Structure formats: structure tokens, C-alpha cells
């Protein structure tokens, strides 16, 4: 079902557009794209200050939306788009920015600051730990992974995460507890192997 005879416009609700997108409507997708691209780009640009990267992240957000349209359940389209974008920004800042550039920033810190050697070492360790956590988190059960990402990586409160996934706060807390338990076990096992 392509809904080719229906041409959605700015008066359509997000829910209606999402239902049409799930039914493979390119017109509905284009309407959502036109509705939110500028807003997402503005927010991303404000954080990154690099036009090309901001554009790429927003483009990727819409690519994900289209490619996953049959696999994801969305209760509210706008928060979902912002969540994907925020995570992409976080991921870019955490893993794409080179250690060298971050060390350069540290090098310009005043001599009054704490030991630079310790700062650089902590920076490297934090980045490696973050990458390790992201890798392990990708292996979590779907719902636990989603709640973990939203709460721990996107700074959503448990109640916000619960609302995003249309589940109770208690259920969200259960998923987070499960995620943290699995992560602790896996990281502990990795620590034993590596050290």
C-alpha cells in the first residue's frame, strides 16, 4: 500500500504521517522531513558548530526513520526524532573527535589546573570506557538497551524514558536495572580478561 493518491500536507498530525510512513508513503516521509529537518539542524548546529557534520547527522536521522519504519514503535514522532539526533550528536562528540584535538584543548588549560598528565590519562580512559560501554550495551535486549541509552546517554529521566516507550515507570526501572546488571557483569568479565 503506497497511499499514492493521498498527499499529506502541513495540516496532518504526526501520528497520521507516521502511520502513512509505516505504509510506505514517500509523500508522508517528505512531509515529516520538511516539517522537522530545519529544527533538528538548528539544534544540532548549535551543539556542533560544524555545518557539514550537522547536516550529515540530521540526514542520518531521517534515513534511520525510513529504514526502520517497519521495525520500530513510535508513540510520538517529534521526541523520537530528537532522541535519535541527540544520541548521534553524543556519539559524534564521544567517538569522532580525535584524542589529539582534545589533548590540544587540554594543553591550553592554565597551569593552575590539575596535573595535565593525569587529565590526559583520565580523558583517554574515559573515552575507551565509553566505547567499551557502547559496544557492550549494543548486545543488551532491545527494551533494556533503549531505556539505558535514553536514561544514561541521552540524559532522559526514567519517567521521560517510560513515556517515550509508552511503558510504566516501574517497567522502565526494571529494564534499566536489568541493563545495568548485565553491563556490570560483562564489564567485570572484560576487566578480568584484559587486566
Which residue did the predictor score with more confidence, 147 or 131? 147
Compute the radius of gyration of the chain from its Cα atoms. 20
Q: In the prediction, which pLDDT does 8 show?
A: 62
The pTM (predicted TM-score) of the whole model is 0.48
* pLDDT tens digits for range 137-183: 777 888 888 888 787 767 788 888 888 888 999 999 998 888 888 87
CA-based nearest residue to 140, from 106, 80, 187, 98: 187
* pLDDT tens digits for range 47-81: 888 888 889 889 988 988 898 888 877 878 888 88
Separation CA 154–CA 89 (nearest Å):
10
Separation CA 121–CA 118 (nearest Å):
5
Amino acid at each position: 500500500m503506497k497511499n499514492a493518491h493521498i498527499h499529506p500536507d502541513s495540516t496532518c498530525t504526526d501520528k497520521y504521517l507516521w502511520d502513512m510512513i509505516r505504509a510506505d508513503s514517500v509523500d508522508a516521509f517528505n512531509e515529516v522531513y520538511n516539517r522537522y529537518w530545519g529544527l533538528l539542524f538548528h539544534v544540532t548546529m548549535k551543539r556542533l558548530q560544524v555545518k557539514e557534520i550537522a547536516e550529515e547527522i540530521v540526514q542520518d536521522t531521517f534515513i534511520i526513520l525510513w529504514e526502520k519504519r517497519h521495525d520500530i514503535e513510535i508513540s510520538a514522532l517529534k521526541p523520537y526524532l530528537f532522541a535519535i539526533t541527540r544520541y548521534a550528536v553524543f556519539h559524534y562528540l564521544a567517538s569522532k573527535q580525535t584524542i589529539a584535538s582534545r589533548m590540544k584543548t587540554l594543553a591550553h588549560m592554565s597551569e593552575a589546573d590539575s596535573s595535565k598528565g593525569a587529565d590526559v590519562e583520565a580523558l583517554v580512559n574515559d573515552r575507551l570506557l565509553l566505547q567499551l560501554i557502547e559496544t557492550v550495551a549494543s548486545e543488551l535486549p532491545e527494551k533494556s538497551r533503549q531505556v539505558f541509552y535514553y536514561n544514561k546517554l541521552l540524559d532522559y529521566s526514567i519517567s521521560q524514558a517510560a513515556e517515550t516507550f509508552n511503558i510504566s515507570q516501574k517497567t522502565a526501572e526494571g529494564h534499566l536495572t536489568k541493563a545495568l546488571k548485565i553491563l556490570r557483569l560483562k564489564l567485570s568479565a572484560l576487566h578480568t580478561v584484559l587486566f
